[in-house]
Amino acid sequence: MSDATLSDGHDGRRGDPELPPFRRTRRLRRTAAVRRLVRETALAADDFIYPLFVAEGHGVRREIGSMPGQFQLSADQLPAELDELAELGIGAVLLFGLPDEKDPLGGQAHVPDGVVQNAVRVIKRHDPGMLVVTDVCACEYTDHGHCGILVGGEVDNDATLGLLARTAVSHADAGADIVAPSDMMDGRVAAIRAALDAAGHLQTPIMAYAAKYASAFYGPFRDAAGSAPAFGDRRSHQMDPGNAREALVEIAIDLDEGADLVIVKPALAYLDVIRQARDRFDVPLVAYNVSGEYAMVKAADRLGWVDGRRVAMETLLSIKRAGAGRIITYHAKEAARWLREDAAAVASSRPVLAGEGSRP
């Protein structure tokens, strides 16, 4: 018997001397067990940060029409939500507030008994170990829906910094673990860091939305948070979608000003930015899998056009593979369930080896 007949090795020939040499990479995809063994990137429940929309009032649980499975919740509804998250292994939430009253200066953003401040206290009383991140921006609190104070019909960068700083301090006073400015004003990280330190919150980290793009993927969020601008848009402060190098500049500035973690937002359309940020900066990197990305998966799944579960998990995996250490995502709860189901299926299909389970 010739060597060519015996060979099923690296050269790929199996009895046919006419076949050119080739490498059999499919060997490592042949079974689920082998695929698990060589998998380079995997998801876990503690990769996820779950956004929550907190409304004023009592007994409020309103499903968001453009985001199936997501709700506006009053503070009294949070304990049940927290118990579910804890049971699923999700240890962090990101809070957005929906105040009943709005004004041109966003005054409700920083009052001690504001909607987010009260929600933080409820969460910390019920589950002190839950990591609470608070979004710091004015858009949900201003009657015009813009991210800062308007002067002459435009967002005044410097006039807005004080509002953001006061808001961040009020969140830290209430017990927030991390504050996350999302406004994209120049200098806001430095202003917030100085204000936090002056108020005695030297240990409160800043998770900066450092590379936040002027994206069409935010539509459902503005429905959920009631934060659509009454006129104009946010292109004067959010980044141009065509710019990637600028994102690295923005991240570097925020880190220089005192940011401890940085966010790239959106995630799926900006995987290249996530990858470049991961390669350039050795700091915790978070990606925001935003409302439009979530809503498209849900809509296509309901129409039967895609397998929503597989698309959602592939999306999240791509974000982590690109370099994100943590992912803010509305899929968090269902993804954690799916991961648990997959793990249970693997465990039930694995043969029990001799001696397993017999130790005293």
Q: Does 265 qualify as catalytic in the annotation?
A: yes
Q: Which helix (H) or strand (E) holds 57?
A: none
Q: Which residue among 265, 298, 320, 333 is the active-site one? A: 265
Q: Does 102 qualify as catalytic in the annotation?
A: no
Helices (H), 39-114: 78-88
CA-to-CA distance for 297 and 251, rounded, in angstroms? 29
CA-to-CA distance for 267 and 246, rounded, in angstroms? 16
Beta strands 48-55; 71-74: pairing state: parallel
DSSP string for residues in 220-233: HHHHHHT---SSS-
- Nearest-5° angle of CA 354, CA 355, CA 360? 165
CA-to-CA distance for 28 and 39, rounded, in angstroms? 10
CA-to-CA distance for 83 and 102, rounded, in angstroms? 31
Q: Which residue among 102, 212, 320, 333 is the active-site one? A: 212
Instruction: Measure Cα distances from 325 to 35, 38, 195 in Å.
Output: 22, 20, 28
Of residues 113, 185, 117, 187, the one with CA closest to residue 149: 185
Of residues 60, 262, 280, the one with CA closest to residue 178: 262
Instruction: Measure Cα distances from 124 to 59, 78, 180 in Å.
Output: 19, 11, 18
Q: Supply the residues annotated as catalytic.
A: 212, 265
